[in-house]
Amino acid sequence: MLRQRVIIRTLGVATAVALAATACGPQKTEPAGSASKVPSASAAGSTPETSPSTDDKPADASPSPSPSASASQSASPSASPSPTVKAIMANGDESEQVRELQARLKQLKYMTVAPTGFYGSKTTAAVKSFQSKNGLTASGAVDDATWKKVQSVSKKPTADELRPPTVNEVDAPDPRCMTGRVMCISKESRTLAWMIDGKIVSTMDVRFGSENTPTREGQFKVEWKAKDWTSTIYHTPMPYSMFFSQGQAVHYSADFAARGYAGASHGCVNVRDKGKLASLFEQVQVGDKVVVYW
């Protein structure tokens, strides 16, 4: 509290009002109807598809044939069982090959979320759609024929395509973000883009307040910064805080990093990538623009 009083006396009466309202902190549950929804790229708990039975028995129940008849039947091609198509990748798998598959399907517009490396329900649905539109058996699992077809109609993914800077796809910048130095924050895509003179320098995923404690929208400016700060109301850490509207700030949230969009803030703009935010904190200056929009 002594350190906070020193800061308040230094910054003056106007800032003291802001300090008194640094109310940000994680909410334990997300209220019904909140705009924050989990942008999961896959459903880890989804049930894998079962493969067709290879154990089908003939309809007739005739006695077992003699050894000579059995040998004759085994030699007959028509008596051989159909070979089972082997899946290269399927629901429940997790690998770098799955990540590449997802990146290629995203190129082809069959997926909209960023690659995760986990083969879940969304990847299964995307593969089925691709197979249906390309004359392949729509099993939802990737066999050799499907993988070769995907490779033939897409290009080898770049590093950024395999591991994009945000899980959420960055929204088109608001017109107010196109000039000067600005933290351009989209509620629709749940992303923050640090922009200078209309060019995106870096991006990161963000989380907002709930319906009961919404993050304010509009154009603001960075009023003050604090590398190490604790909410004066909720007593939760707010590292790398950049305050832009009374007690609301862009800051790192350990709760967001741990729980994702299952929670919400009390109005602040939460960032879950501490390294990226630490770098942004060093670049942003007091007075830089902040735009929060849908």
pLDDT digits (tens, 9 = 90+) for 196-228: 999 999 999 999 999 899 999 999 999 999 999
Q: What is the pTM of this model?
A: 0.56
pLDDT band for position 250 (cuts 50, 70, 90): very high
Dihedral class, residue 107 (left if φ above 0, else alpha if ψ from -120 to 50, else beta): alpha
Read off the tokens for 164.
Answer: 């994009």
Catalytic pick among 24, 177, 184, 251: 251
- 87: which strand partners? 143
The answer to whether residues 272 and 207 touch, using CB atoms and an 8 Å cutoff, is yes
Tell me if residue 184 is catalytic.
no
The answer to whether residues 197 and 173 touch, using CB atoms and an 8 Å cutoff, is no
pLDDT digits (tens, 9 = 90+) for 64-86: 444 443 443 444 444 444 456 78
What single-letter DSSP state applies at residue 156? P
The helix (H) or strand (E) run that includes residue 184 is: strand 181-186
pLDDT digits (tens, 9 = 90+) for 110-134: 998 888 788 988 899 999 999 999 9
* Domains defined along the chain, listed by start: 2-38+168-293 (2.40.440.10), 85-162 (1.10.101.10)
Q: Nearest 10 degrees: CA dihedral of 123, 125, 129, 132?
A: 110
Catalytic pick among 24, 177, 184, 268: 268
